[in-house]
Structure formats: C-alpha cells, structure tokens
Amino acid sequence: MCLAAFALNADPRFPVVIAANRDEFFARPAAPMAWWRAGEVDVLAGRDLQAGGTWFGLTRAGRLALLTNVREPERQRPDAPSRGALVLDWLTRTEPAAAFAASLAQGYNGFNLITAEPGDGPWHWISNRAPAPVPVLLGPGVHGLSNAALDTPWPKTEGLKADLARALAVSADEEALVDRLFAALARPEPAPDAQLPDTGVGLLRERLLSPRFVRIPHPDDPGRARYGTRCSTVLVRHADGRVLVAERSVTADGSWLPAVVHRLPAQR
C-alpha cells in the first residue's frame, strides 16, 4: 500500500477498520485480492505477479499485515529484495512481533510494516527506518501511514485519518461505513504546495503524489495512467469477530472494476 488509515478500538461496533490504497506502475502485473496458498497457510491477499509478494493480507485465523514503502530516492537499491515478501513472511509464521522483527534480514529498501496478531492480539509498526529497530506497539485510536514514518502528518495521511474518524462517527451500519471510506480513498485533490513534504523527488512529483488517489499520465498516452492508485481496500471487523474485506481495482484508463467482497466468519 502507499496510503493507509486504520482505527483500532475507536468504535465499539467496529474494533478494527482499515482503509488503504495501493499505488504502483500499471505495467507491473498483479492479481486482485483472493484466497491463495502461501507455504502451508491460506492467505487472503492481492498478489504481485512480478516478485510474488503482496502488500496487504490476512489469514483465516486473523493474522494480518500491510506494507508501505518509504520514499527516499537517494537510498534506493535496485538489487534489494522485494519488500512484498515481508507481508507473506509475517502471515506464514507464528512468532510475536518482537521475535519476527529481530529475525528480519537486512538489505531491504525502506519499508513500513503493520502487523496484527489474531483475535484481540497486539498491533505493531515495524520499520527499517524507525528510530529504534524494535516493533512499536499501537494503541487505541486512528493511525495513518504513507511513504514516511507512522503518523507522519502528510496532508493525504491526515485527511484520510480525519475522514475515517468522521465515517465511524456518522455511519449507521457497515454498508454506509464502507461507502464513505471508498469515497475518502478516491479523493483526487492535490495538496497545496506549502504543505507538501520534501522527499527528494522534486516539486512536480511531490504534487503528483500528494492526492490520496494518485494518477500520473503515461507520457505517450495521456488518457492512460503510467503510475497511480491500482486498488482501494477496506476492512471492517465487527465486535463479534466477523470480518468484511472489500476491494475495488482501477485500470490504467481510469475504469473501476466491480468490487470484490470477502467475508470471514468469527473465530471460535
């Protein structure tokens, strides 16, 4: 993912809510969210068909992870391993976050990994660009993540966090909540120049990357996107443990594909 907001125990009806966008080059092949086998575990996740990893996934038991890259062009290594493997590593293992973080191999480009253990288990932020190389426990409330550290106040991150909190406050049911979150993820407005971060990619690219819904035209075909938001995902866990995951994908020409919805029963 390149943008995510998640509410943890912020509403008693929905103890976990996630709204996230994945941004990527449209030429990079990917499969939409579905059940597939990773090692000995069934995972519900999209799939990067180039490197084999994923950016957001969960297991039938409720173990979950989502990933964003850290935007730091001066430190990018083209020979680094794919960061999408980190999500699968978490989903297919059983150790807690501290042991998992300690076992991670070196050499990845900058990443943020949000991990959740099954049921009411703890949530953590793990990053190789964090101030300390240990998982950060996430408390109740609304958190946000883009291509910088957890809760870095980029305009699109702060805007999505605010819209998530507002959606929880005014939505009467799951359907209304999901509709509001998809609308929040589809906002295309760029941030004002005065609020843009400086991540080393230049002002023009900072502008293009500043909306929640990113769309950078192809230089040879302005009607199609070369890079941008490829899919939007919303996850809602009910107080009784039932989970809804809904995903909408968009094509390079800007057409939205029908939403794919998965429902997981409460764990017994």
What are 154-197's pLDDT values in tens digits?
A: 999 999 999 999 999 999 999 999 999 999 999 999 999 999 99
pLDDT tens for residues 53-86? 999 999 999 999 999 999 999 999 999 999 999 9
Res 138: pLDDT: 98
**Domain boundaries in the chain?**
3-264
Q: How many CA atoms lie within 13 A of 105 on its CB side?
A: 10
Class of domain 3-264: alpha beta
Res 133: pLDDT: 78
| Residues 254 and 245 sit within 8 Å (Cβ to Cβ) | no
Chain centre to alpha carbon of residue 222: 27
Amino acid at 188: P
The pTM of the whole model exceeds 0.85: yes
Res 131: pLDDT: 86
Res 268: pLDDT: 57
Strand order of the β-sheet with 123-127 is 30-38, 41-48, 56-59, 64-69, 111-116, 123-127, 136-137
Q: How many CA atoms lie within 13 A of 184 on its CB side?
A: 27
Residue 267: pLDDT band with limits 50, 70, 90: confident
pLDDT tens for residues 2-46? 999 999 999 999 999 999 999 999 999 999 999 999 999 999 999
Classify 45 as helix, strand or coil.
Answer: strand
CA dihedral over 139, 145, 150, 152, signed as positive or negative = negative
CA–CA distance, 231 with 179 (Å, rounded to integer): 15
Report the pLDDT averaged over residues 90-94: 97
pLDDT tens for residues 221-248? 989 999 999 999 999 999 999 999 999 9
